[in-house]
Amino acid sequence: GIGYLATSQCFHDGTDVLMLTTNMIGKDLNSSSMNEAGIAMSGLSCFINSDLARDLANDIMTLFGASTSLELRLGKKLIEQLTNLIHSTSAMSLLYECINTVIAVKYLGVLVMSKILYTHSKSVQVHSDLIMRCLGDKDESIRLRALDLLSEMVRK
């Protein structure tokens, strides 16, 4: 954990010794401990470059695939309880947090698409219908972000 904290502060995508860390990072990404894998992903996000991304892509995809089954089961188990809680509470702060989370996820989705547009434009273009639907969203920030994304898609 401390090593990744120090590395995230000292390394950047042009650090020469970065390629020497590939095997160690790969080992941590494949760890049976989700904490170790999470710390490795967090640190990696601070200094990854194209060579490191290429070398660790399979490890990262395996990590994402391993966590989806847990998330799907949890969502199915919690949806009824969360829905009941939302319908039965008068606490505005709870309702705001539930709604705000959905808006934040949608906003982040559009933001991420705009970031990867330059490297994976076809992957973003596949979702053009979804992006178009965001133009009708109630949240102005989502509408503006979607409009910016569509403008960039047209220019590309």
| Cα separation, 42 vs 126, whole angstroms | 28
List the domain boundaries for the chain.
1-78, 89-156
Residues 79-106, mean pLDDT to the nearest whole number: 66
Amino acid (1-letter code) at residue 111: L
**Element (DSSP H or E) covering residue 146:** helix 140-155
Q: Binning pLDDT at 50, 70 and 90, where does residue 147 land?
A: very high
Q: Give backbone dihedrals phi and psi of 106, rounded to 5 degrees, phi first.
A: -65, -45
What pLDDT does 93 receive?
65
Q: Binning pLDDT at 50, 70 and 90, where does residue 11 land?
A: confident
pTM of the model: 0.43
What pLDDT does 70 receive?
53
Sign of the torsion formed by the C-alpha atoms of 137, 103, 111 and 121: negative
Contact of 113 with 149, CB cutoff 8 Å: yes
